[in-house]
Chains A and B, each alone.
Chain A
Amino acid sequence: MMVSEINIKLTILGQWGVGKTSIVNSFIGKDFPAMYIPTIGSNIARKEYKLTSNHVRINIWDIGGQRSFNPLNPVFFSNLDSALLVFDLNNPKETLQEILKTYIKNLAQYSPECITYLIGNKSDLIKPENSEILLNNIRQYQIEGFPIIFVSAKIQDNISEAFSLVVFNFLKKIENESREKQFIGISKRFLQFIDKSEEDLEHLIINLEEIDPNNLHNKITPTIIKKNVKAVESEVIPLREINDLTKTQEFDVDKSLIKENIINAFKNNLSIISDLISDLKKAPIDSLISNIDKCLEDLSNLKKDFELKLDSILELESSKQKS
């Protein structure tokens, strides 16, 4: 039986420190980091759902939120199938403002049809007494038309479900738009594969108009602590934006850890290039040209990303020598 491959390009965007990388790491099964390390450029992660007749691959572009790393570069917004706009539930004002001001505008310009969700991260830190203020803050920004999901990367709550919702909606979209036989019933097959119902996934979405602040805490507090991750008494440690890697000594950040992180991301992105080329080898002849164009665009983005990563390492090294 022929197995077709479906690739979903998803970008995860948001201000620095909102937990984009932690969300991705949590989704692909990596440990939650012990400290905040900024993402330099973009890191790509992949996850595959192997359905019987289709392999659904989700390519997640995790874009560093530091302004100095240029997260608003149009290349991060073009040809997207889906986008997750992440904000911090403990700092909704500033992080939602950033989304409203910049990311939504760029998405509307470069990928107007992409499936977009607003993701409020760090739900584990919300206190019941703050629920009303939080909801009011979110309502204040009136980001209409984008469903909101609350997640916690730290305790892995609603993470895989949120991604599943994205994949489900994407598959529903291609099912409706494409008349190809192979896509008939694919969204249902996906639900069977993840053992969830459509209602389970839709239940993740917070209806701001209807939700009672008194029930919010019950709704978002996980009833099951997943994957043996223990919810601990957490305190909010204020993060500081790292604008200049040469001045990392001013922040409580381990330079070697940042460097290691960049190198690992470099290696990971290099592996992604291998995969992109392998995918291109398998591409059908009739869509070869468009596939080459897409691949070329990704490669160009990755080239810039590699350069940025290398420059960042050199900056770190120069700051080491100075100190």
Chain B
Amino acid sequence: MPIPKKDKIEEITLKDFQNLIDQVKNTETEVDFVKKEIILIKSDILSSQERIEQTIRTQEEIIMDMINRFNDELLKHKSTIKEDMEKLKTQQDILRISYTINEKKLMDKVDSAINKSIAKHLDGKESEILMKIWISEFKEIIENFEKLKKLKPKEFSVRLNEISDTIEVYKQKILGA
């Protein structure tokens, strides 16, 4: 209730004063109420914050737990995979070695079969074949021989050595046949 405005102090009555006191009291009550309300709200907030924090911690723990379990699982899997990979690698190595051995065996067999077949066809004719090869090589040597005259001494010597080496190779082959 609004306090009546007085133009002069002498005019304030006791009643007015009493009203004023009441009003102050009411205000104080209200302030107290508000204070209590604030405390309550604060308490609520705190409690709510705690709950939230707790919830977060719980969630966090759950997640961490999940992560840990995931990690454990991952590690487990990793080690299993590593073992499997090792096994696979070993198997691959075995296969590779076995393949190489078999390939060599096969190639040896093929070589031997080809050699046998060639030997069968060439039986006693090795000399003739070498002679034939030599004659065609020799034709070329003779064709180039005329050119020797035009060479400088150093080139001449090199070319003659080449001819000599070629002849020596055939000589050894034919003598060995």
Contact = CB atoms under 8 A, between A and B. Distances in A.
Interface of A: 263, 266-267, 270-271, 273-274, 277-278, 280-281, 285, 288-289, 292, 295-296, 299-300, 302-303, 306-307, 309-310, 313-314, 317
Given A267-B174, A270-B134, A314-B128, A300 B142 contact: yes
Nearest to B139: A303
A263 B139 CA distance: 19
B149 A289 contact: yes
Main secondary structure of the interface of A (DSSP, over half): helix
Interface in B132-177: 132, 134-135, 138-139, 141-142, 145-146, 148-149, 153, 156-157, 160-161, 163-164, 167-168, 170-171, 174-175
A221 to B, nearest CB: 41
Given A277-B164, A281-B157, A313-B128, 12 more contacts: A263-B127, A266-B174, A267-B175, A274-B167, A274-B168, A277-B167, A299-B142, A300-B142, A303-B135, A306-B134, A310-B132, A317-B128
A242 B128 CA distance: 22
B135 A270 contact: no
B119 interface: no
A280 B161 CA distance: 11
Contacts of A314: 128
Interface string B23-47: 0000000000000000000000000
27 contacts: A263-B127, A267-B174, A270-B134, A270-B167, A270-B170, A270-B171, A273-B138, A274-B167, A277-B163, A277-B167, A278-B164, A281-B161, A281-B164, A285-B153, A292-B148, A296-B145, A296-B146, A299-B138, A302-B138, A303-B138, A303-B139, A303-B142, A309-B131, A313-B127, A313-B131, A314-B128, A317-B125
Secondary structure call for the B interface: helix
Closest 9 CB pairs of A and B: A277-B164, A310-B131, A263-B127, A296-B145, A306-B135, A270-B171, A299-B142, A274-B167, A292-B149
A307 B167 contact: no
